[in-house]
Structure 1
Amino acid sequence: MQDTDPAAIFRQEATELVAAIEAGLLDLEKRTDDRALIDAVFRDLHTVKGSGAMFGHAEVAAFVHEFETAFDRIRRGEARVVPSVIAVSLKACDQILNLLTDPKEAVAKSEAILAELAATVGDGGAGTPSDGPSEGMRVTFHLPVDALRLGHNPALLLDELSALAPSSRVRALTEGIPPLDALDPTDCRMGFVVELHGAVDRAAVEGVFLFFDDGLSLAIEPLVEAAAAPSSDPDAAPAEAAPAAKAPAAAPAQGNTPDTMRVATERLDELMDRVGELVIAEARLSALAHQLREPHLMAVAEDIQRLAAGLRDSTMSMRMVPIGSITGRFRRLARDLSDRLGKPIRFETEGEETELDKTVIEILADPLVHIVRNAADHGLEGPDVRRAAGKAEAGTIRLTAEYSGAEVLIRVKDDGRGLDPRKIRARAVERGLIAEDSQLAEADLFRLVLAPGFSTAENVTDLSGRGVGMDVVKRTIDGLRGQIELASEPGHGTTVTLRLPLTLAIIDGLLVEIGGEHYTIPLAAVEECVELPDQFAAGTGSSSFLNIRGALVPFLRLRTLFSVDTPPVAFQKVVVVASGGARVGLVVDRIVANNQTVIKQLSRLHAGLDGFSGATILGDGTVALIVDVPQLVALGRAAGERRAAEGGRAERQWLDRAA
């Protein structure tokens, strides 16, 4: 059932507005004189206050009213934006959320935060003096053409303007009204001139039109100046008005603004489940049609297949969310960590438009918090150490996201001290994770930091050092069928790369056969398919190399990996797949077809199977395991490294090219 609880709807919208306010404050810290940002923050505060009062959240409305009043001093130019103002404003944002979740407990802190906010804004120093009260103003305005359709009421605006002065006079401007046969009653074509007599604050007049942007024509001039140059036509709009609060702008094109509506996540999940069942049913229908060879049935099956594919793509697109939707919290986190650790930190992002399944985004937030926190606490040095090393005093943490075939790569990179392989090795030996005489590659040493309880921190702090962060990250990423890669250079920083699937629901797959059993390879990871050369057909080893157009590509015999006892077919095929910049060939008996693959999670009994990321149900009702391409590519690289260590010149050449 759809959730129509007004209080729940308000809490959701208020939470989104607070996130927008927080993002605006963080941007404002870098662009302190950006008037558009100041107005945007003020508008969001005004909306939260009004909605809170409307839905009975008196504590929220009262708190935000005082917050808005303090911030209005900045909007009117009576105070400057300084770091202390941003800090206490962010604290006030947290208090709004606390009032939404537990008003009885949180209300006790409101007075202290508001007092600090008022004092900080008051101490912010006078900025550019704002226009104070003047003896009368003439306000001339034309609302956007679509103002009525968007729910605005010009009469209410006129009442609000008239209330600003002891007396006022309103005159309509009718020259923009078309003939009756061309008139659209939903268009706002009438303008107004409002003369305000007495002491009037210009900022208060501008505030009446706070929620109008494009399409608003507004001119404000002192009434004395207006009277000095009367118009010869009493019904005409005043000529070129003096300073305008908003420059006249062309009315926005009608019909270009997309309509949106809120849909509960549970409904999207249910829709995706139904589409998954439809895809399975469509596969069964297609299999039956090809079996019977009845032309009319095959035609219907093709239509159903096309419609199911379109519905699948549309449903998946509705679930896709840009990663930028969660990067705001990391900007705030980096700022708070900078204050707590006494380290100047610059947080940067790239690729915020990269989209992932909503479920993946929600689960991904906490692991990224751990990674950013570790980068700030363990990775970045203090300002004195950085200066001594010839680095910029402020450390940089950079979060990037990009597509890579069927995966999304999310990287968190810092320019700090980097990982120390010797310290990691010593701590691993001390913990009994490796033998003292073991020889591990640097990449394998770095992976040890993902072990439960592993930490090289000298001191335990309230942020990190207990070794309970990265192992949680690894478990979470494993649960998403993803992988973690670590790269580091001592003195130059560390990069943590998360490889994640685009979606957890439905993918295009390449159905292959090995020893009479069917398996699915994600189609987005497939680069090409070639026939296995005769000289390799009778081989029994698990891996070797192919020369594909001058490039050496290692290949894995899946028959050997999957312990298939039946003899191989006469003409085996090699499916070349790619992951993380490396290519590996997978030798299969037969390539069956492309199909839409509904991903089903493996049971707990089978969850530990290496080389598989899930399973799917085929059209004939049988189950096909889904091959874990990144894991097999890593296995192919490892096999190549072993052969290179044994002295294979070709393998060494391939490894050099792959690096």
Structure 2
Amino acid sequence: MSDDFAQAFKDEARELLADLEEALLEMEENPEDLAIVGRVFRTMHTIKGSGAMFGFDDIASFTHNVETVYDLVRNGALAVSRELVDLSLAARDRILAMLEASESGVAADPALNEEVIARFRAMVPAPVESQDADPVEEDGAEDPPEALVTYRIRFKPEAEIFSTGGNPLALLRELQELGPCNIVAHTCNMESLDRLEPERCYLFWDIILTTAAGRNAIEDVFIFVEDSCELNITVIDDGTRQEQGTYKKLGEILIERGDLTPGQMDELLGRQKRIGELALEAGLVDAAAINSALIEQQHVKEVRQERQSQVQSQEATSSIRVSAEKLDVLVNLVGELVTVQARLSMVAQELKKHAELVSVAEEVERLTNDLRDNALDIRMLPIGATFSKFKRLVRDLSGELGKTIEMTTEGADTELDKTVIEKLNDPLVHIIRNSIDHGVETPAEREAKGKPRTGNIHLSALHSGDSVLITIRDDGAGLNVDAIRAKAVERKIIPANAEMSDREIWQLIFAPGFSTASKVTSVSGRGVGMDVVKQAIEGLRGSIDVKSDPGRGTSITLKIPLTLAIIESLLVQIGKDRFVMPLSMVDECILLTEKEMEQNPGRDILLVRERIVPYVPLRQMFRIEGKAPSIQQVVICQLEGKRVGLVVDWVIGEHQTVIKSLGRMYQQVVGMSGATILGDGSVALILDVPAIMKAAEEAG
């Protein structure tokens, strides 16, 4: 089996396992919903079938045991229980471990696999053993046997089924295991030997199968090739008819299968008249009624065919799997194109007398913007897939801590750049773990406070301009301002006489080494986690806002940019150097004269609409030589509810910034988060506004 097929299976299996985990948690909440049980069974069956097809025999064998149990659940022979869900989640983790082992080369622990399999086998009811004595028949003592149903199956795979790893022979053998089976291969599409392509499938099959397993079992056989074949399953004998003699005429069977049309049958039978002609001769209907019925018949037939064609077309083109590396290359190329387009626009403006060149530059700019937006949109993914992962975290950790907590979500269809989503996982895990451990109380404590015994953690996401707001809210005890302040003073994070608002005290939970836990546990207490959260969010050019209501809960809101590839920014200049800053952080720009600076000697503050705003002279901070102009400009930025001004020589205007990473030697430079190439080929540094604000605060 080629590496490409194996990798395709691994990618698909990971998606299936994520869906399986979500389905299992839903099944625990709705144990009577057979649709969810069927979803779990089909996912297991797909993993088993695909695993066997692509050479992952260990996964196929392991999953077969799980599938056996869920077949019983689906048929009502076994009830859904917490034990079953726990065991199924453990099985899901073992399948993932086997997948990862196939990549790392380190085998998954077989003992753990056997332990899970043994527990699943123990859940299967043992068959009733026969007694030595003759059984005594009693009315109603035995369940009636399952009815045998005969099906006609036409299986017509696509010609390219072999190239996707499909094996029709394996599917036919699996059908034979369901009951008495007759298989006929159709060779009418075969090519001559000199035109035969060995990688194409020219056959299709008719199968007559009698089984008590039911239609679902037949569909499950074809579940992982259903999108690449034509499959028709028809009941031809359900065991309830008492008809004697011939089953059906040959012509009827051929017509039902679609091998012969009624018109062709009429031609073969020659003199036999049609039903319409017979009805006319008998005087039962008139010609108009016959004509109307024929038109209706043809019309409905055409409409249904057209509708089916559209559905098949939509299903075939609705999605395509593309590797993340290819998308990254595309976005990088679009970024380079944006830079070249800026250069073209600059040249066109310098040569304004060439109207045609200006027109071409404007058209290129429009097309480049559309291409940029589409390329970035391709990398957008709904955040719901990330939210669903945390249901398992809440379930397992709350059980470990003896708490009862449910997680609710909102805005799961909100989209973010895939790179941002990947980097959000760890910060969200830390916040949710802290909410479970420190926020939500035990059932007894909640009951004593008049709260429901079951706590709640709510995750929501919504768009806000060019950013996404992600809120994690719990209904727990809230933050204890006095305890946080006392611990901060004890750790010498703040002086004892510091005057701070509640909002500022809440932000102290993100200080390095800060923790109010009285003892260290496996979950928290070491003072690591929330400071890592803040670093990660600031690394995404985002911000964190905390709100808490004592006794009612805490809400943490993350403001995250939609993408990290290309951003709208503000281009400024200091001396001969140019810088850019994210436009999403900019509130306004105002002028700063020498007279205003002299009014507050030694204090870098401004009065803006009756509010005091501190400012940072970037020329001094970056040690840029030269004299500043008599009238400078202040770019006022807002972050985490705070406003601060950045003093520059000139504000040039808005700019589309293609973000480039700094080299290793410059990654630790304070105040810089990257660089970009301007239209004239020069380099402008991207200002790290949160880092500049932090450095200014520490400098006093």
Matching of residues 407-556 of structure 1 within 5 Å: 407-513=467-573, 518-523=578-583, 542-546=605-609
For residue 399 of structure 1, give the secondary structure of its aligned residue in structure 2.
strand
Counterpart in the other structure of 1:359: 419
Letter in 2 for 1:304: V
2:589/2:634 contact within 8 Å kept: yes
Q: Which stretch shifts more, 621-630 or 72-81?
A: 621-630
Counterpart in the other structure of 1:226: 241
Counterpart in the other structure of 2:193: none
1:566 to 598, 618, 628: 628
Q: Which stretch shifts more, 623-632 or 397-406?
A: 623-632
Counterpart in the other structure of 2:333: 274
1:136/1:224 contact within 8 Å kept: yes
Counterpart in the other structure of 1:164: 178
1:542/1:556 contact within 8 Å kept: yes
Counterpart in the other structure of 1:69: 68
1:255 to 313, 322, 347: 313
| TM-score normalised by L of structure 1 | 0.77
1:133/1:202 contact within 8 Å kept: no
Matching of residues 150-299 of structure 1 within 5 Å: 161=175, 164-166=178-180, 194=208, 196=210, 204-205=217-218, 207-208=220-221, 210=223, 220=235, 223-228=238-243, 234-235=252-253, 251=308, 253-257=311-315, 258-293=317-352, 295=354, 296-299=356-359
1:602/1:615 contact within 8 Å kept: yes
Distance 2:60 2:169 in 1: 25
* 1:164–1:457 CA distance, 2 compared to 1 (3 A): same
Matching of residues 102-121 of structure 1 within 5 Å: 102=101, 104-120=107-123
Letter in 2 for 1:134: E
Letter in 2 for 1:544: L
Distance 1:390 1:199 in 2: 55
Distance 2:378 2:241 in 1: 54
For residue 555 of structure 2, give the secondary structure of its aligned residue in structure 1.
strand
* 1:539–1:121 CA distance, 2 compared to 1 (3 A): farther
Letter in 1 for 2:371: L
2:675/2:686 contact within 8 Å kept: yes
Flag the structure with larger Rg.
Answer: 2
- What do you get for the CA RMSD once the two structures are aligned? 4.4
Distance 1:215 1:537 in 2: 79
Letter in 1 for 2:545: E
CA-to-partner distance for each residue in 1:486-505, whole Å, 9 max, x for gaps? 22122111122222222112
Distance 1:602 1:330 in 2: 34
Letter in 2 for 1:266: E
Counterpart in the other structure of 2:190: none
CA-to-partner distance for each residue in 1:355-389, whole Å, 9 max, x for gaps? 22222211211111111111111111100000111
2:572/2:579 contact within 8 Å kept: yes
Q: Which stretch shifts more, 219-228 or 443-452?
A: 219-228
Contiguous gaps of at least 5 residues in structure 1: 124-130, 173-189, 239-247, 547-551, 639-659
CA-to-partner distance for each residue in 1:89-148, whole Å, 9 max, x for gaps? 00000111122223634222112111212334659xxxxxxx9853531336788xx975
2:628/2:649 contact within 8 Å kept: no
Counterpart in the other structure of 1:327: 387
Distance 2:401 2:313 in 1: 51
CA-CA distance at 1:217 after TM superposition:
7.3
1:17/1:44 contact within 8 Å kept: yes
Distance 2:223 2:388 in 1: 25
Letter in 1 for 2:344: L
CA-to-partner distance for each residue in 1:232-273, whole Å, 9 max, x for gaps? 9843659xxxxxxxxx99846232133544333233333333
CA-CA distance at 1:335 after TM superposition:
0.9
For residue 95 of structure 2, give the secondary structure of its aligned residue in structure 1.
helix
Distance 1:280 1:408 in 2: 26
* 1:363–1:286 CA distance, 2 compared to 1 (3 A): same
Counterpart in the other structure of 1:381: 441
Counterpart in the other structure of 1:139: 151
Counterpart in the other structure of 2:9: 10
1:345/1:394 contact within 8 Å kept: yes
| TM-score normalised by L of structure 2 | 0.72
* Percent of residue pairs identical: 42
CA-CA distance at 1:88 after TM superposition:
0.4
1:515/1:559 contact within 8 Å kept: no
Distance 2:427 2:578 in 1: 35
Letter in 2 for 1:543: L
Contiguous gaps of at least 5 residues in structure 2: 127-142, 187-203, 258-303
* 1:352–1:76 CA distance, 2 compared to 1 (3 A): same
Counterpart in the other structure of 1:657: none
Distance 1:559 1:282 in 2: 33
